[in-house]
Structure 1
Amino acid sequence: MRIRTRRLAAAGVTLLTAAALLPAGAVAAPRDTGPSGGGLHATVRYTQYGIPHILAKDYTNLGFGTGWAQAADQVCTLADGYVTVRGERSRYFGPDAAPGSALSSASTNLGSDLYFRGVREAGTVEKLLRQPAPAGPGRQVKELMRGFAAGYNAWLKQNRVTDPACAKAAWVRPITALDVARHGFAVQVLGGQGRGIDGITGARPPGATGKERGRTADPHRTARAARELFSAQDADMGSNAVAFHGRTTANGKGLLLGNPHYPWQGGRRFWQSQQTIPGELNVSGASLLGTSVVNIGFNGDVAWSHTVATGVTLNLHQLTLDPADPTTYLVDGKPHKMTRRTVTVPVKDGAPVTRTQWWTRYGPVVTGLGPQLPLPWSVTTAYALNDPNAMNLRGSDTNLGFGKARSTAGIVKALRDTQGLPWVNTVAADRHGHSLLTQSQVLPRITDDLAERCGTALGKVTYPASGVAVLDGSRSACALGSDKDAVQPGIFGPSRMPTLKDAPYVENSNDSAWLTNADRPITGYERIFGTIGTRRSLRTRGAIADVAAMAEKGRLTVADLQRQQFANRVPAADLAADDTAKACAALPGGTATGSDGKTVDVREACEVLARWDHRMDTGSRGALLFDRFWRKLTAAVPSERLWKVPFSAADPVRTPNTLDTSAPGFTTALADAVTELRAAGIALDAPLGKNQYVVRNGKRLPVHGGTESLGVWNKIEATWDAKAGYTEVAHGSSHIQAVGWGEDRCPKARTLLTYSQSSNPTSPHYSDQTRLYAKERWVTSRFCEKDIYGDPALKVVRVRERR
């Protein structure tokens, strides 16, 4: 690599080689003795907090710069993902350990490997890549994938890994464009086949003795488990997003606040960048690690964010089996032999393990969706899983289309043309003043009529309760069919998607699309998309109350979005804290009995709750006490018994309400919370930040925000340590963006990546934005060239292949 350092006179910027920006302790690559020989290359301009602005002449070179820059920040996390999709976890980490991978729900490395090696050996991803667009990925996305792999490999070749998580590890190896595509496939099926990996790889035909003949799935238990499994509020990924129409803003242009709730560790972290091909593409935002496009972001005209949607991305087909052979199923009375997929997995310090999976015309046979939802394979019945996203590798095309869009109409067009998003809603605003929410997902084409006509006894219960359809697989008349505007058979076309345009506000917090705007509810969609007229979560209720008030006030700016993000209001407290304090103060003798039967003095707790400000700020006293009490109460008392005033579809934002303090479990929860904090040595009125924090490089950083059940917009799901409090964040607020526009096409945006750009503790960008988050501070986004070159920390690096 030829090192050339010069000053850009107009901007006062240093132009550096890639080696000059390596983390502390890294070894610079040897100097080239000549030009790159026509290899791939890009220019990366790093601004404050290590945010790269990647400039390239075409898509392959843009992918190269993106792969390089992601590897520089996240090589260990990326490499772990590639080990997963190659089906090699057992080889390196042993078969019995939990995968610990964001791409796999399997309970063991062996189960994960059996699934992903099966995908490899079946050539699933290769077949999808060969499909011409729009059914398959387009040329530009393929070029990005190729470039990304080359950039990742070039970084590995030219640098030494300093992250202790994988330094000198044999599993950190070069990748191919096919590995990048397989990684994308794993993300697409997270909500479908990804939920059933253990049930797919562990499926075994019943024995010849017929002992399994009477085993069937219990309808009501299965429906309850499915409802819990497909509840976005309880998952480790969720989000808030709101877009405001120009009628509500100070300058008539749209505003967007995006607040995805994603894991703080591992492969589902976001990573920030700006991608620019002059005259072709200019987009800034966040990418899921391993993704070569911006998934959530903005450009000079439009901004968008996603929320995990309620649409159920899979369905089941109940198979009627041949009485003489449980691996043969009947369709219209005719036998069809299941396809055997035999997979062998290399295992560390052991012999290879071989297992057989069973596949049908509907998809793989599955014996469960997680341990809580068993689907027994008997001699008469089995279940096959249909996941249309297992035939969808178009997600990056959709996101690339967003990056090129010039309005919310352009967002709709990208969704219509590519139909690639598997499990999210899209919320968008543009500089022309438009607002948009659309639940444009790739979903099985399950209409309510089809579920009624073809639902089995199990499906008659699971579909209304959870949206999981169980269809009669023995009748060809129960096939899913196709919409004329769908690019893929068996899915809904764009015209069927719940959508709301140009309302004063559109908001989603992981409930269904029904209450996107309280004054303009969306109805008329099929149950598989979500419910209509049902109770909303406290987070949705609090969010709608907040944003509706903002819209009514009007004259909104980006600063108003920033205030909403960190308001840390607790809707559960506004509904219940005062009643809790009063009921507490009225307890005879100021005592309550805990679950262990011991009497607890709770008088101090009553006073603390009465004084609490109903917020989850780091300085809020009483927040931790109410949090621990509320978790225990809601776990012990069914939601329908928690409130005196029940839910009403006519008043969904304000109902249910009025806490029933006489409910069994109320005083027990209060006593247990007090006992728990005292046992941990935590004062009942301790500031929240003293016992809700993360530790980075030996330093405590206080964390504000609160859990799902409290309804806090700024959601934080933290890990409880019985001796210290909340000592780490599992998932919650991640890549936050508040976006508006001025009179030019330079977005007026503030962003924050709560866990910072790098997971390498030796990196200067391991915790810098986390420190900002602790102080409720933001990063000023630098989108236009004048803003990039005006950054006081700007460093410019040329990255190239070395041949």
Structure 2
Amino acid sequence: MRSWMRCARTRAPVGIVVATIGLIAASTAAARSQVSITRDRAGIPHITAANFRALGYGEGYVFAQDNLCTFAEQIVTVNGQRSQYFGPNGLAVNYSAGASNTNLQSDLYWRYVKASGLIQRELATPPPNGPLPQIRDLYTGFAQGYNAYLRSDKLRDPRCKGKPWVRPITLADLFLRGEQIVTEASAQQFIGGIVGAVPPGVTVTSGAAARSPVDLGALKAALADSSGAAEGSNGLGLGSRDTRSGHGMLLANPHFPWRGTERFWMAQLTVPGSYDVEGGTLEGFPLIGIGFNRHIAWTHTVSTSRRFVIYQLKLVPGDPMSYYVDGVPHRMTHITVSMRVGGRRVSHTFYLTRWGMVFNLPEAGYSWTTNTAYALYDAVAQAGPRAANEFLRMGQASSVKALLAVESRFLAIPTFNTIAADDRGDAYYGDVGAVPNVSQAKLTACLPAGIPTLVFDAARVVTLDGSRSSCAPGNDPGTPVKGIFNASHMPHLIRRDYVENSNDPFWLANPSAPLTGFSPIIGLTDEEQGLRTRE
């Protein structure tokens, strides 16, 4: 791959390690596919294969060489088995989401995800909401390669060698991991509150329900925009007017955790004539998340868009499991999961509404009473395959205009802004992803008075009146799912000078062309920018 950006690649001369691995696939047609793996002097693998299944096989194999113990623990997490191996009172920490829950809370939540049939529905759904054939092949190959390394008996890491929780992975495991990634700014923030939501008067045997005092300051600290944080991502895209060459240039300065599965892992992935991308990715996501190809380079910063909405439910008197919509009572549905913990069986019931799962948000004083309950509407739930499709097509884009078209089609970016530049001299900023379609007008009409207004003012968390169907998220034309904005209602900008973002709202991606008129659920304008932006 020719690099059009001198600073894009720091690869030392290749030739340290070369391996060719025969792919033994379940499909007889792919039984003899070949993949070539070369590690450069920095240890970065460069993987070339004839097709996406072979590419996934090679990637899964070398990924396991580098990360097996860390990722094996995450597989335990997304299968709801932490209590079995690490004890119910230990902590399940999501370093990226900034959330920690007990192993028991985490297990109950993930057992609900599995019991809901989410992954089976995703795999049975056609694109764009289900996986493209190349994605299915890539993920299948990744699992096969990972498992081949596990069988090779080459694992030496004492953290997990010989541990009973290390096992082969499946296609479903990888899509569970995808669900975890896309919901990091939504459901992953609220696992404790989801598990803690039980009807008033119900005795909890799971030990998972907890109550905390109202603390809007804590809510703001957990969910508020990160532009003023000591650590944060920075992205700068330069266009032809600001470079000597007349080509684009990109500074990618992401800040994700240095530990856990949210640590970046670098690779170059190549299927000649189809996909050739180098960069970093989160562990267990088999596509490049931040990187470059022959024509474009892109990076991400955490967006200020809220990926969720909270609905306040008006309950039927005497029946806390029924709620009104337009004066008509609706009965909640439920899913019960069970597991063995320390020799006893623990069961827990999750309650579902037309708006989403019932949950508590103790910092806001949101809890299930005889009169009121709260439901979490998650715009990125079930977006895992769509996000994988999107990142595949992003890596195949030949310009930032093509990149914007990809983002506009799939609308699956779960947490991030995108900053990019191309060899034609264009620079791009966009916050174009999965965001609940809540306009300023709907917010004005549907935000309940009292605590919900204070919650919005303190942390820009949107609560809407769940007793009115008119407060449902709107529907824009051309979206892959209902209830999210299309790209015309989301901020994006292509410039020949520059674009920049350091976790501030979209407003001043380029001060010469302020972006205004967008819903406050995406971010606020006319506010002081963070220090990193001002510098």
- TM-score greater than 0.5 by the shorter chain: yes
1:639-659 CA distance string (max 9 Å, x none): xxxxxxxxxxxxxxxxxxxxx
Q: Distance in 2 between matches of 1:469 and 1:142?
A: 36
* Aligned counterpart, 1:504: 497
Name the CA distance, whole Å, in 2 between partners of 1:133 and 1:236. 40
Partner of 2:368: 377
Shift of 1:234: 7.0
Any conservation in 1 of the 2:228–2:530 contact (CA below 8 Å)?
Answer: no
Query: Residue in 2 aligned with 1:296?
Result: 290
1:379 and 1:414 map into 2 onto residues whose CA distance is: 46
In the alignment, the residues of structure 2 paired with residue 149 and residue 80 of structure 1 have an alpha-carbon distance, to the nearest angstrom, of 15
Query: Residue 381 of structure 2 aligns with which residue?
Result: 390
CA distance in 1, matches of 2:455, 2:135: 38
Contact 1:452–1:460 (CA under 8 A) maintained in structure 2 = no
One-letter code aligned to 2:259:
Q
Residues 471 and 14 of structure 1, relative CA distance in 2, 3 Å threshold: closer
Distance 1:189 1:231 in 2: 17
Query: 2: CA distance between counterparts of 1:481 and 1:462?
Result: 22
Residues 137 and 181 (structure 1 numbering): CA distance in 2 closer, same or farther, change over 3 Å?
same
Mapped partners of 1:181, 1:360: distance in 2 = 24
Q: Does structure 2 conserve the Cα–Cα contact (< 8 Å) formed by 1:81 and 1:103?
A: no
Q: What is the aligned counterpart of 1:74 among 51, 62, 67?
A: 67
- Structure 1 pair 434–382 and aligned structure 2 pair: CA distance change class (3 A): same
Within 5 A, what are the aligned runs for 1:326-337?
Answer: 326-337=320-331
Amino acid at match of 2:72: A
Structure 1 residue 376 displacement after superposition: 1.6
- One-letter identity of the residue aligned with 1:354: S
Name the counterpart of 2:403: 411
Deviations 1:544-590 (A, max 9, x none): xxxxxxxxxxxxxxxxxxxxxxxxxxxxxxxxxxxxxxxxxxxxxxx
TM alignment of 1:97-136, pairs within 5 A: 97-102=90-95, 105-136=99-130
Equivalent residue for 1:447?
439
1:275 correspondence with 2:266: no
In 1, Cα distance between the equivalents of 2:94 and 2:212? Answer: 29
Pair 279,200 (structure 1): closer, same or farther in 2 beyond 3 Å = same
Aligned partner of 2:71: which letter?
L
Matched, 1:402 2:394: yes
Counterpart in 1 of 2:25? none
CA offset at residue 41 of structure 1?
Answer: 4.0
Aligned mates of 1:384, 1:70 — CA distance in 2: 38
1:53-72 equivalence runs, <5 A: 53-72=46-65
Matched, 1:46 2:29: no
Task: Note the C-alpha offset of 1:136.
Answer: 2.6
Instruction: After superposition, give the CA deviation of every residue in 1:100-134 in whole Å (9 maximum; x if it has no partner).
Output: 34588342000000000100011112212222212
Residue identity matched to 2:474: G
Identity of aligned residues (%): 39
The answer to whether the 8 Å contact 2:17/2:38 transfers is: no
Q: How does 1:175-186 map to 2 (within 5 A)?
A: 175-186=169-180
Contiguous gaps of at least 5 residues in structure 2: 1-13, 23-27, 204-210
* Residues 1:201 and 2:195 are matched in the alignment: yes
- Residues 447 and 87 from structure 1, CA distance in 2 versus in 1: closer, same or farther, beyond 3 angstroms? same
Q: Could you tell me which amino acid in structure 2 is paired with residue 324 of structure 1?
A: G
Task: Identify which of 463, 467, 474 aligns with 1:470.
Answer: 463
1:224 Cα offset (Å)? 7.3
CA distance, structure 2, for counterparts of residue 460 and residue 345 of structure 1: 39
Q: What displacement does 1:217 show?
A: 11
Q: Which residue pairs with 1:683 in the alignment? A: none
Matches within 5 A, 1:109-258: 109-207=103-201, 222=216, 225-226=219-220, 228-233=222-227, 238-258=232-252
Q: 1:237 to 1:413 in 2, by over 3 A?
A: farther
Tell me, what secondary structure is at the counterpart of 2:135? helix
Structure 1 position 61, deviation (Å): 1.1
User: What CA distance in whole angstroms lies between the structure 2 residues aligned with 1:292 and 1:208?
Assistant: 43
**1:135 Cα deviation after fit:** 2.6
Does residue 83 in structure 1 map to residue 76 in structure 2?
yes
Kept after mapping to 1: 8 A contact 2:315/2:324 = yes
Change (3 A) 1:16 1:479: closer
CA distance in 2, matches of 1:409, 1:278: 23
1:440 alignment partner AA: V
Whether the aligned pair in 2 keeps the contact of 1:310 and 1:510 (CA below 8 Å) is yes
Does residue 323 of structure 1 match 2:317? yes
Picking from 251, 260, 267, the partner of 1:266 is 260
Q: Give how far 1:338 is off.
A: 1.1
> How many residue pairs are counted as aligned between the two chains?
507
> How far off is 1:81 after superposition?
1.0
Q: Which amino acid aligns with 2:88?
A: P
CA distance in structure 2 between the partners assigned to 1:70 and 1:208 by the alignment? 46
CA contact (8 A) 1:99 1:109 kept: yes
**Letter of the structure 2 residue corresponding to residue 254 of structure 1:** G
Change in CA separation of 1:411 and 1:319 when aligned onto 2, cut-off 3 Å: same
TM-score by length of structure 2 reads: 0.90
Give the TM-score normalised by the residue count of structure 1.
Answer: 0.61
Contact 1:247 1:504 in 2 (8 A): yes
Displacement of 1:290: 0.3
Whole-Å separation in 1 of the counterparts to 2:231 and 2:75: 21
Looking at structure 1, the residues matched to 230 and 357 of structure 2 have their Cα atoms a distance apart, in angstroms, of: 25
Conservation of the 8 A alpha-carbon contact between 2:238 and 2:421: yes
1:577 is matched with none
Residue 485 in structure 1 maps to residue 497 in structure 2: no
Distance in 2, matches of 1:157 and 1:234, equals 47
Cα RMSD (Å): 2.5
Amino acid at match of 1:150: Q
Cα deviation, 1:737-795, whole Å, max 9, x if unaligned, reads xxxxxxxxxxxxxxxxxxxxxxxxxxxxxxxxxxxxxxxxxxxxxxxxxxxxxxxxxxx
CA distance in 2, matches of 1:318, 1:217: 19
Distance 1:171 1:163 in 2: 14
Q: Tell me, in whole angstroms, the C-alpha distance in 2 between the residues paired with 1:175 and 1:182.
A: 11
Matched letter for residue 180 of structure 1: L
Seen in structure 2, the aligned counterparts of structure 1 residues 280 and 127 have a Cα distance that, compared at 3 Å, is same
CA distance in 2, matches of 1:119, 1:408: 36
